[in-house]
Amino acid sequence: MKTSFISNLSVQSAMRSTINQIQGELIDAQREVVSGRHSNLGEVLGATTSRSLNLHRDLSMMNNLLSTNSVVTQRLSSTQMAMETISNAAQTGLNTFVALAGSTDSTQLGTAVQTLTDVMDQFTTAANTSVNGEYVLAGINTDVKPVANFLKDEGGLRTDIQGWIASLGSPIAAADMETFLTTVIEPMFLDPSSPDYKWATWSSASDTPVTSRISKTEVVQTSTTTNADGFRYLAMASVVGIELLNQEMSVETRRVVSDWAIGKMGQAINGVNAERSQLGLSENRVAIANETLQAQIDIIKLNLDDLEGVDVYAASTRITALTNQMEISYNLTARISQLSLVNEL
């Protein structure tokens, strides 16, 4: 019979190894209880790990879309508020021209000019609305203030128009007025090919509106631009009223101005409201996209729970068992470390 000797040092080393293993398992179990997921997905899922990764990628993309859609919703809401102000201002301008009905009363004319000045001021302020440092009516030129202040003659447009009016002489004949409005004022605002075109020096907005991706497959227009015709008609009619109504002219000539301005203000209202309707459709599509994204996110989370989820109760029970096992190991290690022949002598 042969005996062998086992030192208490080797036993202590084995116990320390066991304790390290238990500690690792305990950390994994605690992580599973907190996260509700397997600690080592690759080990548990094996070949289906790629499916889990794909689901996480899709989930991250959809959450990002929801986040950007909240910014899009804010931009659309702010744009709608600005356009509502502009539409209301255009309606006020239209009412002002209709109320004149060829009036020659200086007080009434002065009041009309002041009202149209307020209309222009409201238009300029609303057109230059910014949200989070971006101008919502500047098209893709979101970092540039879209409209210069006509009343302060920013861009020199007011000086140019006053020069043209002065060249007509006084009093201004009805035929000359009609020619001036159709061959000078309209091209100045509407016709880029005209040598008199000045809108580009007044507006810094882009012709291209902002578009945003709101889902995997859907891109919508999420802003507009003051270069749209409705805004130009409003500016043009307001400018004519401000600069011409107080000029010396006959009743017939003033009626030419009023009738022309009434038509342009009507076009302005229709144009601005058309832009509002377009963005209203975009708002609706964003809302629907958000509902769809949230439903898809919920489905993906259910699939991930099936793939990666753990029984939290079982994991908690395992933590208790591992903790008890570790305490026993500590006690055994402490007792073994006290074994010595010296203590027996």
What is the chain's pLDDT, residue by residue, as a tens digit (345 residues)?
Answer: 455 545 555 555 555 566 556 565 556 556 655 555 655 555 555 556 677 778 778 888 999 999 999 999 999 999 999 999 999 999 999 999 998 866 778 888 899 999 999 999 999 999 999 988 899 999 999 999 999 999 998 878 888 888 888 888 878 888 999 999 999 999 999 999 988 888 888 899 999 999 999 998 899 999 999 999 999 999 999 999 999 988 888 889 989 999 999 999 999 999 999 999 999 999 999 999 999 999 999 988 887 777 665 655 565 676 676 666 666 665 656 555 555 555 555
pLDDT on residue 83: 95
Judging by DSSP bridges, how do beta strands 211-213 and 134-135 pair with one another? Answer: unpaired
By the 10 Å C-beta count (0-12 exposed, 13-18 middle, 19+ buried), 15 is classed as: middle
Cα 233 from chain centroid? 27
pLDDT on residue 33: 57
pLDDT on residue 170: 79
Is 301 in contact with 62 (CB distance < 8 Å)?
no
Neighbours of 17 (CB within 10 A): 10
Q: Report helix, strand and coil shares of the chain as percent, to nearest 5.
A: 70, 5, 25
CA gap 120, 148 in Å, rounded: 11
What's at 170, amino acid-wise? S
pLDDT on residue 14: 56
By the 10 Å C-beta count (0-12 exposed, 13-18 middle, 19+ buried), 116 is classed as: buried
CA gap 191, 237 in Å, rounded: 16
Q: Where are the beta strands (DSSP E) in the chain?
A: 130-131, 134-135, 211-213, 219-221
pLDDT on residue 161: 86
pLDDT on residue 343: 54
Neighbours of 6 (CB within 10 A): 8
Residue with tokens 């401000």: 242
pLDDT on residue 5: 46
